[in-house]
Structure 1
């Protein structure tokens, strides 16, 4: 006779099996996460899911970072209460530096708030020091509870390497350009500017280049901007050839005891000459080029002087 209290075994075990299966799935999930963390500690990778690949460093930047053999320290003055645009610049700078550090952990940084001190004199001393170091201030109109107030910020970095340091101004300022566009341009230029600072600091033996004089070329004052820009990577000189055979070359003795003629300069720049070159000067430049020298000619396609137009019925042009 069958008992009325008997319950099928599968009905009793159903809830228990469900709980057991859930527990097993949970344990398997935790085990998978643990394994992924262990594997991730040995295999490092980053995925850039942005459409413009803003977090993908160029091969040249990666090569530069891998060759960095000592600590590069970026002291970033973009910490504080800023308008939205500068907050975005600050965040993008931090993200780019993190990308740099992912390639080489010699990259270190610190974000500093110039307004951290409550003492007005201390803040002024900080501002003066930053300007002396080469950071350019930017004045912002900030809305507060009291109304509009002017706030001075220093959107820049002091970069240090092996006892040397240089200023790096992050804001790409252009006359007549909308502030939002300037911020976006500055963000787009972050990789170049941050890596370029490393190039400047790591260049110890600068090759020499020279501006040629003596043929009505632009003066030192007129080429001041380009000279300063080039001086970050080259030792810039100004020379006159004046028919001197050794103006652009030197004779040096090699290991085999033989004397060879080598170029003094990596390149020469001839900026807007307005008079003819003597045959001897042309020969010297030709021999310099034959030995691998480079020449940058800065020549106006049209030479038009208002004085010559007023006094003559014609002028010169290059076609």
Structure 2
């Protein structure tokens, strides 16, 4: 009896000590293969830093809720709930969230008013048609969260997937992006130390209106400066610079400043065309070589933009074109235009993970050249079915009227954007430098640049009716917004904050679908097994327990 008492006291004491230790040492175990319940270190630091920065509390309203969500959306809702639970573990009382069912209101008028309120905040509904009991049922879903802190709030779209993927794959991509999307919104609302971005817009004839969506998006995350390079002695103090679609030569003084900015560890993004295409008429136009005074600079860093235009015969955008007459009116139909490749071939990078197709226009091919100490990662690539037109290239919309001859499109995959990482050699190394120049650097610190052979990739169109800018990547013919903005913002995020929230984009959740043939052929067997096995085990356990009692205590 005494020994039993000692054992009991030891067990109780051990439990007490374990609880005391647990209050000092925090740990969580994620036993899943993909670590789906684990947050990236950057997200953890972001959430833990909320209390240190003494920021306002963060409130997350999730509108993806309801009793009759389709299976895939129920899984997405569960992913959001699990992620927010993890956020609360690290963010503590700074993180608060609630789930709201937009369809809970029984009064149709009040429900419509609530829908309008959500739409005014930038949350448009998704209509899902499902079959239940042999009848089609339409469900209105708002796959959004509204993240707010203090006086500011941001809608976050949870349903993001690549065109061409199945509905299940799109939902899985959305599942993978939940942490990144929510953490990015929280960072936007709470960050106090903002990075500085410079836009070298003086070398393009396009108006600020043509970059308005890019500018607005950058201003949400960073401090943006429109740089006049001729009046700036250096670009020191900036974290990154962007050269957006230049159509006139960059002067030597600015080129030197760009080079030395990169040598000092600065990040840079070049969106540069290979040929100059001013306008295209049905009768045709010639695309001419474009001398921007950047060839030697980019060549030194490891890439060359060729003076050509790539036509993609397998993946391209459509344009509205008159294909005939319909009565007394022209018959306008969307027709594939091979000069506008839709990029659906991405390199393995956090920048391009799970983004939608990227819309491009009049792209040039790119080659890599030797640059010691520089790693070159392809980001955007065409399909294998390409045809290259060297300058001067004849361009016409009438090209869309002809069918694709596969025999002509054997150019193979062409890369139109590269990420360059490493230590770069200065273009001006071993050259005579202006005696007035001070602090010259011949080799860079470890840094990164991105070069894209399509200046239009970051240009938004302007509505002819209203004169207002359209979203970046928006295609008027299909009324779809492609992934151009996500690509650019991810690229900048990666360049200037590679160990930041962008790391959350690396999360991968594998789909493990059931074998459809086996589930069809072996359905009855597995149903019997799943129902009968638990019942059988309970019966066997009862018999064994009864037998042991009889053996130990005799018959009752």
TM-score normalised over the length of structure 1: 0.73
- 1:232-251 matches, within 5 Å, as 232-241=220-229, 243=230, 245=231, 248=232
Distance in 2, Cα, partners of 1:303 & 1:140:
44
- Equivalent in 99, 102, 115 of residue 114 of structure 1: 102
Q: Which residue of 1 aligns with 2:168?
A: 180
Q: Which residue of 1 aligns with 2:269?
A: 296
Distance in 2, Cα, partners of 1:266 & 1:45:
36
Q: Aligned with 1:270: secondary structure?
A: strand
Q: Which residue of 1 aligns with 2:277?
A: 305
Alpha-carbon distance change, 33 to 95 in structure 1, aligned in 2, over 3 angstroms: farther
Q: Aligned with 1:296: secondary structure?
A: strand
| 2:69 is equivalent to residue 86 of structure 1 | no
Distance in 2, Cα, partners of 1:287 & 1:54:
42
- Any conservation in 2 of the 1:262–1:291 contact (CA below 8 Å)? no
Once the two structures are superposed, residues 39-96 of structure 1 have per-residue CA deviations (whole angstroms, 9 ceiling, x without a partner) of 5455443210101111111111111111012421111112102000000001111111
Alpha-carbon distance change, 37 to 297 in structure 1, aligned in 2, over 3 angstroms: same
- Equivalent in 41, 60, 68 of residue 74 of structure 1: 60
Query: How large is the RMSD of aligned CA atoms in angstroms?
Result: 3.6
Distance in 2, Cα, partners of 1:38 & 1:313:
74
Q: Aligned with 2:221: secondary structure?
A: coil
Distance in 1, Cα, partners of 2:65 & 2:197:
40
Q: Which residue of 2 aligns with 1:161?
A: 149
Question: Which structure has the larger Rg?
Answer: 1
- Any conservation in 1 of the 2:277–2:287 contact (CA below 8 Å)? no
- Any conservation in 1 of the 2:275–2:288 contact (CA below 8 Å)? no
Q: CA deviation at 1:112?
A: 0.6
Alpha-carbon distance change, 124 to 29 in structure 1, aligned in 2, over 3 angstroms: farther
- Equivalent in 106, 128, 137 of residue 140 of structure 1: 128
Alpha-carbon distance change, 263 to 147 in structure 1, aligned in 2, over 3 angstroms: same
Q: Which residue of 2 aligns with 1:101?
A: 88
Runs of 5+ consecutive residues of structure 2 not aligned to the other structure:
291-305, 308-366, 368-556
Q: CA deviation at 1:312?
A: 6.6
Alpha-carbon distance change, 131 to 205 in structure 1, aligned in 2, over 3 angstroms: farther
- Any conservation in 2 of the 1:212–1:268 contact (CA below 8 Å)? yes
TM-score normalised over the length of structure 2: 0.44
Q: Which residue of 1 aligns with 2:244?
A: 271
Once the two structures are superposed, residues 275-309 of structure 1 have per-residue CA deviations (whole angstroms, 9 ceiling, x without a partner) of 22334544665676687765432223x3253879x
Q: CA deviation at 1:111?
A: 0.6
Q: CA deviation at 1:228?
A: 3.6
- Equivalent in 47, 64, 74 of residue 46 of structure 2: 64
Runs of 5+ consecutive residues of structure 1 not aligned to the other structure:
1-16, 250-260
Alpha-carbon distance change, 217 to 291 in structure 1, aligned in 2, over 3 angstroms: farther
Q: CA deviation at 1:270?
A: 1.2
